[in-house]
């Protein structure tokens, strides 16, 4: 949140800010994040009106833009998403595999509730720009339940990767390369990368990556040591599948077995985040509070996700029609994929929403993988709506990270126990 606020303040000449409101339904966390955000506001724009609230009506009333990033069940539940599958040798990940499916079932209702608050209180022209995970499932479910909602689902992984691409090509910013890309969220491929002189730099980039590997992340968030293996695995994926440049999340599907073997079942990414970023946030808030804001806090504010969400909002607000990778209904842009699949493709962002570009037909390998993944995601959304145990079992079984229906059932049963109070009851 402080990273996004910093990006907003730095770009305030481009994206006009009248007022900023922070909303959280968790008062304790709101207080800590609020202390840091207030500090960031004092650093970059002390005149700006900042309100902190746990009341959705106060938060959403007359809002133009709502930047959403919720984590339902907090890190304690992320830990379950990661550890339960790992007990059975299956990838434990917050958006991929059974972990993502479980997280999806927790997040559908709170996202719909957020949309309803916006419909009720925000300006009729509101836009929700949403980072909440698992973005693919959230997108599918909210689109089904609230098809008219003004919500755009986005992900920072492509831009974080494109920042590395740009640096390897001697360029500066993630949007110094214009991508042609197709896929689903956390599941896609770049086919071309045009620079400002309209040259496709992908052949050159591929050669460089095959020689040197993908440049380490230039994004603060993804420079964390436990992200390093993800960056290193990039070359391996490209070696096995040299046609396109992959989204890093494909490692969990293409090398599901090896990924699971590499994970420590007793100490997963959730533990690393709780012991790292979360602790740090509490400490920095304490430092600011105790020194009355006099001590310079050590904040990691330079992240691609902050700039990206502001770039996206800016294009919508001023109808700039800038072209970005976002998650939208397919509507034929990949003709072999279902019309209503939520795909991640380049879109021109207009005041009235995203306009996807036509991708055309895609090769069998990518198509097969995408159909399997999109089916798994659709089945979990069906399970939610129908309260269907059977559909949930099918979603878990369909997922490429799960080796058998027997394993799927074991994981699902454990997930049901762990998610009591979060999931609808499945029958």
**Residue numbers of the site for ligand G6P (CB under 6 A)?**
133, 155-157, 269, 273
Query: Measured from the CB atom, is 145 or 273 closer to ligand G6P?
Result: 273
Query: Measured from the CB atom, is 153 or 376 closer to ligand G6P?
Result: 153
C-alpha angle 297-302-304 in degrees, rounded to nearest 5: 150
Query: Measured from the CB atom, is 154 or 411 closer to Mn ion?
Result: 154
Where is 379: in which H helix or E strand? helix 364-386
Q: Which residue among 23, 24, 81, 156 is the active-site one?
A: 156
Binding residues with Mn ion: total (CB under 5 A): 2
Return the range that interacts with Mn ion (CB under 5 A); candidates 109-117, 150-158, 196-204, 295-303. Answer: 150-158
Q: Which residue among 249, 253, 255, 324 is the active-site one?
A: 249
Task: Quote the least distance from Cβ 331 to ligand G6P, whole Å.
Answer: 24
Helix (H, G, I), strand (E, B) or coil at 153: strand
**Helix ranges restricted to H, 129-275:** 135-145, 157-168, 202-212, 228-240, 250-254, 256-262, 269-273
- CB under 8 Å to 198, separation ≥6 — which residues? none
Q: What is the 3-state secondary structure (H, E, C) of 321-353?
A: CEEEEEEEECCCCCCCCCCCCEEEEEEEEECCE
Task: Quote the least distance from Cβ 135 to ligand G6P, whole Å.
Answer: 7
Query: Measured from the CB atom, is 155 or 162 closer to Mn ion?
Result: 155
Q: How far is CA 234 from the centre of its chain?
A: 19
Q: Is 136 in the site for Mn ion (CB under 5 A)?
A: no
Q: Is 413 a catalytic residue?
A: no
Return the range that interacts with Mn ion (CB under 5 A); candidates 41-49, 157-165, 331-339, 359-367. Answer: 157-165
Helix (H, G, I), strand (E, B) or coil at 191: strand
Partner from ligand G6P, Mn ion, none contacting 269, C-beta within 5 to 8 A by type: ligand G6P
Where is 152: in which H helix or E strand? strand 151-153
Query: Measured from the CB atom, is 155 or 334 closer to Mn ion?
Result: 155
Under 8 Å between Cβ of 200 and 193: yes
Q: Is 156 a catalytic residue?
A: yes
Chosen residue from 77, 86, 155, 347 binding Mn ion by CB under 5 A: 155
Which positions lie near Mn ion, rule CB under 5 A? 155, 157
Catalytic residues: 156, 249
């Amino acid at each position: 949140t402080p990273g996004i606020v910093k990006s907003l303040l730095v770009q305030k000449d481009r994206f006009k800010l009248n007022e900023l409101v922070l909303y959280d339904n968790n008062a304790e966390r709101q207080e800590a994040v609020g202390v840091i955000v207030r500090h960031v506001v004092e650093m970059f724009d002390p005149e700006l009106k900042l309100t902190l609230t746990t009341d959705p009506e106060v938060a959403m009333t007359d809002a133009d833009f709502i930047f959403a990033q919720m984590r339902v069940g907090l890190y304690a539940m992320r830990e379950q998403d990661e550890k339960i599958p790992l007990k059975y040798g299956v990838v434990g990940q917050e958006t991929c595999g059974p972990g993502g499916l479980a997280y999806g079932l927790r997040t559908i209702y709170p996202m719909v509730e957020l949309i309803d608050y916006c419909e009720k209180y925000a300006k009729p022209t509101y836009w929700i720009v949403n980072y909440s995970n698992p973005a693919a499932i959230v997108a599918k479910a909210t689109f089904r339940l609230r098809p008219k909602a003004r919500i755009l689902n986005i992900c920072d992984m492509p831009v974080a990767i494109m920042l590395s691409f740009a640096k390897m090509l001697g360029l500066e910013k993630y949007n110094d390369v214009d991508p042609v890309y197709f896929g689903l969220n956390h599941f896609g491929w770049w086919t071309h990368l045009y620079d400002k002189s309209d040259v496709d730099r992908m052949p050159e980039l591929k050669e460089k990556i095959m020689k040197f590997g993908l440049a380490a992340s230039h994004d603060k968030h993804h420079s964390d040591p436990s992200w390093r293996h993800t960056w290193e695995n990039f070359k391996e994926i490209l070696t096995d599948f040299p046609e396109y440049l992959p989204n890093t999340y494909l490692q969990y599907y293409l090398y599901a077995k090896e990924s699971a073997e590499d994970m420590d079942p007793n100490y997963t990414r959730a533990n690393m985040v709780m012991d790292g970023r979360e602790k740090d946030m509490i400490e920095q808030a304490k430092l600011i509070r105790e020194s009355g804001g006099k001590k310079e806090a050590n904040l990691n504010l330079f992240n691609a996700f902050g700039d990206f969400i502001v770039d996206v909002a800016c294009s919508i607000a001023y109808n700039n029609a800038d072209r970005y990778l976002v998650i939208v209904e397919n509507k034929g842009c990949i003709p072999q994929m279902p019309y209503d699949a939520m795909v991640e493709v380049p879109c021109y962002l207009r005041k009235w929403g995203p306009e996807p570009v036509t991708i055309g037909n895609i090769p069998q390998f990518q198509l097969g993988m995408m159909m399997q993944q999109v089916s798994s995601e659709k089945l979990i959304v069906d399970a939610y709506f129908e309260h269907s145990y059977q559909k949930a079992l099918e979603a878990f079984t369909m997922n490429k990270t799960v080796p058998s229906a027997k394993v799927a059932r074991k994981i699902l049963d454990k997930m049901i126990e762990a998610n009591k109070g979060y999931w609808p009851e499945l029958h």
